[in-house]
Amino acid sequence: MMNYVVAIVGPTGIGKTRLAIDLAREFNAEIVNADSRQVYRHMDIGTAKPTPTELTLVPHHLINIVNPDEEFSLAQFQKLARQAIKDIEQRNKLVLLVGGSGQYIWSIIEGWGIPEVPPDLEYRRKLEERAISSEGQRELYKELVKIDPAAAANIDPQNIRRVIRALEVYARTEKPFSQLQRKKSPSFNTTIIGLTIDRAELYRRIDQRVDKMIEQGLVKEVRKLMDMGYGFNLPSMSSIGYRQIGMFLKNELSMEVAIQQIKFETHRLVRQQYNWFRLKDDRIIWFDIQNNIIPEVNFILASTSILKKDRETKG
């Protein structure tokens, strides 16, 4: 008997959280977070995390589960997400897998085999030092192409953390990262709902959201994290928004420049996300959010619910 997972995907700022909460309330579903930054505690405004009120409306999983200085890998996410999905299914409820982190989403839907290779922090630090310059990043990517062209073909050269991780795994195991990523079909069927909009309009909305984050207290949030001892060398604190505001607080950028950089980097993130969630991917049912998408999305989830109940009855 196969269960169902409904994934809600798309770029940042598109409205995935709001739609997911509405659908979860309508269909008595639960939400599994697939945003790589919303797993961190104390990082609320800059990650556009659901508000405390929203978190009480619907059961959420994998939000606020680690501190900013704790290691949190794709393998950890996959393990916890699978556990959450199994738990929700055992209670005969629908699962909504929601987020814009392509790795997180596809690792669950495609059943990625993720190498359980502990991080080599010293080796990683050396590669990160080499990657400080653009030339260094290009050289590291060339090394990956040489030793593991299959992995390199699936990694954005700008995603230096993934490049370093692939090199790290090879250094530890002497096996190509791609060979250790065996896929296994998941134990559920999947419906993937994608949200999109005209790019210029999305950028406009993102810029408005960045301004709202500043109004809501992003500077205060970053200052509090600094006071708690979290440095900007941490993966969590190098996130868009936190890094730039940190530079402002250290008098390295003006507020105006910091805000402009946040907007620019978020636009760049959108382009990367569309590489993970391609508009031509026929696995994804795309909806333009400028239209009234609720009736059709509701119909899709209602059909999924009916199919799930039908299978449970026959079982």
Instruction: Extract the tokens encoding 146.
Output: 């040489």
Task: Render pLDDT for 155-203 as a digit per residue (tens, 0 to 9).
Answer: 888 888 889 989 999 998 888 888 776 777 888 889 999 999 999 999 9
Task: Render pLDDT for 287-303 as a digit per residue (tens, 0 to 9).
Answer: 999 999 999 999 998 88
Look-up of token digits 């119909």: 299
Does the domain made of 121-180 have the CATH classification 3.40.50.300?
no
Which residues have a Cβ under 8 Å from the Cβ of 101 and sit 6 or more positions away?
Answer: 34, 35, 36
Range 283-288 average pLDDT: 97
Task: Render pLDDT for 122-137 as a digit per residue (tens, 0 to 9).
Answer: 898 899 899 988 888 9
Q: How confident is the model at residue 1 (pLDDT cuts 50, 70, 90)?
A: very low
Is it the case that residue 305 has pLDDT exceeding 90? no
Identify the burial level of 152 via C-beta atoms within 10 angstroms of its C-beta, where 0-12 means exposed, 13-18 middle and 19 or more buried.
buried
> CA dist 6 to 98, 215, 284, Å?
8, 34, 11
Share of the chain above pLDDT 90, in %: 73
DSSP string for the chain = --EEEEEEE--TTSSHHHHHHHHHHHHT-EEEE--SSTTBTT--TTTTPPPHHHHHHS-EESSS-B-TTS---HHHHHHHHHHHHHHHHHTT--EEEE-S-HHHHHHHHTT---------HHHHHHHHHHTTSHHHHHHHHHHHHHH-HHHHHTS-TT-HHHHHHHHHHHHHHSS-GGGG------SEEEEEEEEE--HHHHHHHHHHHHHHHHHHTHHHHHHHHHHTT--TTSTTTTSTTHHHHHHHHTTSS-HHHHHHHHHHHHHHHHHHHHHHS-TT-TTEEEEETTS--HHHHHHHHHHHHHHHHHHHHH-
Query: What per-residue confidence (pLDDT) applies to 309?
Result: 53
Query: What per-residue confidence (pLDDT) applies to 244?
Result: 98
Task: Please choose, from the candidates 3, 190, 20, 27, the residue with its C-alpha nearest in 3D space to the C-alpha of residue 86.
Answer: 3
Task: Render pLDDT for 97-117 as a digit per residue (tens, 0 to 9).
Answer: 999 999 999 999 999 888 778
Q: The pTM is what?
A: 0.84
CATH homologous superfamily of 3-113+183-314 equals: P-loop containing nucleotide triphosphate hydrolases (3.40.50.300)
All structural domains of the chain with their residue ranges: 3-113+183-314, 121-180
